[in-house]
Amino acid sequence: MTTIAFDVYGTLINTDGVVSRLREWIGSQAEAFSQTWRSKQLEYSFRRGLMQRYENFAVCTRQALDYCCAEYDVSLSAEQKDTLLQSYRVLPAFSDADESLVALQAEGHRLFAFSNGTTEAVEEVLRASGLLKRFEGVVSCDALATFKPNPDVYRYFMKEAGDSNDAWLVSGNPFDVIGAVSAGMKSAWVKRSDRAVFDPWGVEPTVTVATLSELCAHDL
């Protein structure tokens, strides 16, 4: 039996789920806007972690949205911004997420959601996508008032999960994979795009898969 931590946003949950709504409002800029929003969201979490000026992930998301509006010279009303921010709480799951979690459960693995998001926000988005019931629990970095890839949060996960000897992280985010491996966990990188590049830091994922479905073929 293996303990597996699943990153949520970008791994189980598709953060590009906001594109259709953005396309209605800003047209052809929607895809680029969404990608920059996600990039800035993460950048702000990194910077706040380093500066020890913690605000939760929802604040990082809102401030990243404000940045994107300025960067792309887009004028969104307060109501439109609220709609986009609320959409983060009901983003869709990737198509392979549920069946993969069911298969891993059937193999006897312990599954946890592990996220920068607050416990409430993570539970809400997982419930909306039908995935919450697949997990033994949700572990949030919010409890430590910092973010991935601070090594403390991976150690915190292993303590909370009660299994530090054979714990895995599954993530679509290279920074998250490197953080987990550096903290002593095994890790699977979900490389959903052929164009995705893993950071050349000399720290490699234990395994690399193109989809969550491929995890079941590995000896975790």
Tell me, letter by letter, the H, E, C secondary structure of the chain: CCEEEECCECCCECHHHHHHHHHHHHHHHHHHHHHHHHHHHHHHHHHHHHHCCCCCHHHHHHHHHHHHHHHCCCCCCHHHHHHHHHHCCCCCECCCHHHHHHHHHHCCCEEEEEECCCHHHHHHHHHHCCCHHHCCEEEEHHHHCCCCCCHHHHHHHHHHHCCCCCEEEEECCHHHHHHHHHCCCEEEEECCCCCCCCCCCCCCCCEEECCHHHHHHCCC
Shared domain check, 153 and 61: no
Shared domain check, 160 and 208: yes
pTM of the predicted protein model: 0.95
Q: Which domain holds residue 163?
A: 3-14+91-217
Residue found by looking up tokens 């993460």 in the block: 42
Residue that terminates a domain, selected from 28, 56, 87: 87
The count of structural domains within the chain is 2
Catalytic residues, by residue number, are 7
Shared domain check, 57 and 104: no
pLDDT in tens, 17-69: 899 999 999 999 999 999 999 999 999 999 999 999 999 999 999 999 999 99
pLDDT in tens, 83-140: 999 998 999 999 999 999 999 999 999 999 999 999 999 999 999 999 999 999 999 9
Residue that terminates a domain, selected from 29, 60, 87: 87
